[in-house]
Structure 1
Amino acid sequence: MKKFINAKPNRTATILLGLLPFALLILVYMIGSDARLAINPSDKLLPSFSHMGESMMRMAFEPSRRTGDYLFWQDTLSSLTRLGAGVLIAACIGLLIGTLTGSLPYISASFSPLLTVISLVPPLALLPILFIVVGLGEVSKIALIAIGITPFIARDIQGRTKEIPSEQLVKAQTLGASTSQILIRVILPQIMPKLIDAVRLSLGAGWLFLIAAEAIASTDGLGYRIFLVRRYLSMDVILPYVAWITLLAFLVDYLLRKANQRLFPWNAEVNS
């Protein structure tokens, strides 16, 4: 008899087993919701799926009486714009710092200790400072995301750069390549797929900083809406918004992974 540790599910079983925990969570929620609503039909803690659907249909397809916007889509657009801008800035700065500190010993000796110290500073502790310095507008929210994940990306790229075989650098120098040519034509192409991986790993923290900034000072956004309706115990809005954020995070990660495979197919072959 085959040992269980050696047993591997086929493709169909893998899909079913992956869906099983979600189905169980939905079932447990439905049972709990039905039990609470049976006792108190106006209970807000565990709203029914139909109630959540009605609330989201209203927010997604009925314009706001105050602004005329479709709140759900406006919140989504605002949050994704802030997240995208912050992550893009962090990726560019992290790539520059990580590549230079990972490949140039003098730069590494000068800036690596500073990078280590900055990475230990809790980004959320800097939020009041950002509000004071740049105000409560979009800049402070984008800056928090960038500041929060740049050290992680930079340190990851630094480590990846140091992993490049020294033989490649020696060969390039033997062929007469300058420092800038080695950086651009030898190191950078090998680092780009690693950058996408670093961005993927940092997105969880990026969402955290985005929600925190929107919750404290904003007039729209997914995080703003969640913290706005919490005072009314509107779980019929909060739960779908949390699920939507989770879905968006999954989709962004999926698109980045597919982009990495399409742009740098050789990287997948090297890692396989």
Structure 2
Amino acid sequence: MKRLINSTPSRGGRWLLGLLPFVLLGMLYLSLSNARLAENPNDPLLPTPAKMAQSFHHLATAENARTGEILLWSDTLASLERIVIGVGISALIGLIVGILNGGLPLVRAKLSPLVTVASLIPPMALLPILFIAFGTGEAAKIALIVIGVTPFLIRDLQGHALRLPDEQLIKAQTLGASSWQVLLRVLLPQLTPRLLNATRLAMGTAWLFLIAAEAIAAQEGLGYRIFLVRRYLSMDVILPYVAWITLLAFLLDQLLAWVSRMAFPWYHASEGDNA
């Protein structure tokens, strides 16, 4: 008898099993929406899919009377710019400090406690300080993403560097490599694909910080728009925006996965990771 733990679905079966939860959630939403609207046709809390599609189409096509911009695309561009810059800065700092902490014990002794303490500070608690220090412009929002994401990346890369076989470091030094050559030619190539994977894991947290910052102080952005219309209970706008944010996050995740597979196929072969 074949054990359940050894049973793997086919490619088509994986798609069907993956879609099943979404179908069930959609059916549940439709049943709740129909029941609520049957009692009150003007109830805004659970709008029909047609109503949400109509509102989303309006936001994606109609120009703002005051600015002349199309709201959905201006919000999307503003949010994507913030998150790409914030995550990019976090990845760069995480890679540099992670390599130094993982490869140089003297640096690790100085910086590792600081990174550990920084990772324990709730970034949202620092948001008022960031607004005071940087104002309510772009710098504060990007800084919140950097503060929230960078310690995680540093600790992940540092831990991965420390788990590398000692034989690699010993052989490199036996062949005459200096400390910097070991960092650049042994650690850097192996930590870069790990950085991409860690960045994928941190992307959800980065979106959380971005939405929170935009909700408090912004003039455009996906988070700003959601919290702007919540006072009117405009669920026909909020729910499509949440779905749009989810789609954008998924596309960014898949882009990082594609870059990782194309640039570092050996890493995914050794990890057995095809995601």
Q: TM-score higher than 0.5 here?
A: yes
Aligned counterpart, 2:111: 111
Aligned counterpart, 1:131: 131
Distance 1:184 1:64, change over 3 A: same
Q: Deviations over 1:128-183 (max 9, x none)?
A: 00000010000000010011000000000101111121111111111211111111
SS at match of 2:66: coil
Instruction: Please show how residues 114-263 of structure 1 align to structure 2 within 5 Å.
Output: 114-263=114-263
**CA–CA distance in 2 between the matches of 1:4 and 1:185?**
44
Distance 1:65 1:260, change over 3 A: same
SS at match of 1:53: helix
Compute the displacement of 1:33 (Å).
1.1
Instruction: Please show how residues 20-31 of structure 1 align to structure 2 within 5 Å.
Output: 20-31=20-31
Compute the displacement of 1:8 (Å).
3.1
Q: Which residue identity is paired with 1:89?
A: I
**CA–CA distance in 2 between the matches of 1:179 and 1:37?**
69
Compute the displacement of 1:24 (Å).
1.1
Compute the displacement of 1:14 (Å).
2.0
Aligned-residue identity in percent = 59
Q: Deviations over 1:42-65 (max 9, x none)?
A: 110000111111111111001011
Quick check: 146-155 or 13-22, which moved more?
13-22
Instruction: Please show how residues 33-72 of structure 1 align to structure 2 within 5 Å.
Output: 33-72=33-72
**CA–CA distance in 2 between the matches of 1:172 and 1:198?**
26
Give the TM-score normalised by the residue count of structure 2. 0.96
Give the TM-score normalised by the residue count of structure 1. 0.97
Q: Which residue identity is paired with 2:241?
A: Y
Gaps of 5+ in 1: none
**CA–CA distance in 1 between the matches of 2:99 and 2:2?**
49
CA RMSD of aligned residues (A): 1.1
Q: Which residue identity is paired with 2:58?
A: R
Compute the displacement of 1:12 (Å).
2.0
**CA–CA distance in 1 between the matches of 2:27 and 2:168?**
56
Q: Which residue identity is paired with 2:89?
A: I
Quick check: 13-22 or 57-66, which moved more?
13-22
Q: Which residue identity is paired with 2:94?
A: G
Compute the displacement of 1:2 (Å).
4.1
SS at match of 1:210: helix
**CA–CA distance in 2 between the matches of 1:113 and 1:5?**
41
SS at match of 2:9: coil
Q: Which residue identity is paired with 2:172?
A: A
Distance 1:4 1:98, change over 3 A: closer
Aligned counterpart, 2:268: 268
SS at match of 2:38: helix
Aligned counterpart, 1:101: 101
Q: Deviations over 1:104-133 (max 9, x none)?
A: 011111111111111100000000000000
Compute the displacement of 1:13 (Å).
2.1
Q: Deviations over 1:67-117 (max 9, x none)?
A: 111000111111010000000000011111111011101111111111111
SS at match of 1:42: coil
Compute the displacement of 1:11 (Å).
2.2
Q: Which residue identity is paired with 2:55?
A: S
Q: Deviations over 1:183-217 (max 9, x none)?
A: 11111011100010110111111000000000000
Compute the displacement of 1:4 (Å).
4.3
**CA–CA distance in 2 between the matches of 1:139 and 1:115?**
22
Aligned counterpart, 2:9: 9
**CA–CA distance in 1 between the matches of 2:168 and 2:232?**
61
Q: Which residue identity is paired with 1:32?
A: L
**CA–CA distance in 2 between the matches of 1:4 and 1:84?**
42
Gaps of 5+ in 2: none
**CA–CA distance in 2 between the matches of 1:17 and 1:170?**
47
